[in-house]
Copies of this chain bind each other. A is one copy, B any other.
Amino acid sequence: MKETDDIRSLAAAAQQLDPMDRKILAVLVEDATVSYAELGKRVGLSAPAAHERVKRLKKSGAIRRMAALIDPGAVGKGLLAFIHVDTSGWGKTPALMAIAECPEVEEVHSVAGDACMLLKVRAASTRALEGLLARLYDTPGVKATRSYVVLSTYLERPPQPGVTLSWPVPKAARPAEIVQ
């Protein structure tokens, strides 16, 4: 039996995405409402085959879930901001993580660089943003915050399956090759 490098085979098995899988992902990331017949037609497969692939992609975790992407403005959350949080000591305290329960908070990352934590926040108003900042400063360990309020958004999309294969050589940018 060929049981080499089994250590990461669990992850590897789940990540073996052939070109067909990538094509399917590319379609579904853009529009998850296509019928399996239509999806199959676009990638060159029958409906049940496409269905089988999608089922596998879901089970493996490559597709986390199908979601409705809503217009923040429509739900009255027109203000977007990124907040850098400096903490004293280790940032990931339960008290700080608790803000993740606010529906305003969309992302929480720990980052390398001069900030400990980075938050993406979408609120109804500057008043609401102030409320969130007040809550942040109330949290033990929070030393300082720097807010970057978004003036306008030119691009915002979920993770894409595509990867740029060749980057331009510095000082001579030419069209980049893209896969999927």
User: Size of chain A's interface in residues, with CB distance under 8 A?
Assistant: 89
Residue A128 at the chain B interface, CB threshold 8 Å: yes
CB pair A160 B106 closer than 8 Å: yes
Interface residue A124 (Cβ < 8 Å from any Cβ of B): yes
Contact with B along A96-118 (1 / 0, CB 8 A): 01001111111111111101001
For A92, A154, A161, A170, the residue with the greatest tally of chain B CB atoms inside 10 Å of its CB is A154
Q: Beyond the given A63-B68, A66-B66, could you list 4 further A-B residue pairs with CB under 8 A, ordered by the A residue number?
A: A101-B176, A110-B151, A112-B150, A128-B167
**Closest Cβ–Cβ distance, residue A35 to chain B (whole Å):** 13
Docked pose: A69 CA to B32 CA in angstroms: 9
**Is residue A42 within 8 Å, beta carbon to beta carbon, of the partner chain?**
no
Residues of B within 8 A of A112 (CB): 148-151
Contacts A103-B178, A168-B135, A170-B138; A109 near B70 (Cβ below 8 A): no
If A138-B168, A149-B111 touch, whether A68 touches B104 (CB-CB below 8 Å) is no
Write the nearest CB–CB distance from A109 to chain B, whole angstroms: 4
Cβ–Cβ contact B74 & A154, under 8 A: no
Judged by a CB distance under 8 angstroms, whether A137 is at the interface is yes
Ordered nearest first, which 5 A-B pairs have the shortest CB separation? A131-B167, A103-B162, A28-B68, A62-B74, A103-B160
Taking beta carbons and an 8 Å cutoff, which residues of A are in contact with B? 11, 14-15, 17, 22, 25, 28-33, 60-77, 80, 82, 84, 92, 97, 100-113, 115, 118, 122, 124, 128, 131-132, 134-135, 137-139, 146-164, 167-168, 170-173, 176, 178, 180
Report A8 CB to chain B, min CB distance, Å: 12
Give bound CA distance, A128 to B155, whole Å.
20
Complex CA distance for A64 and B13, rounded to whole angstroms: 33
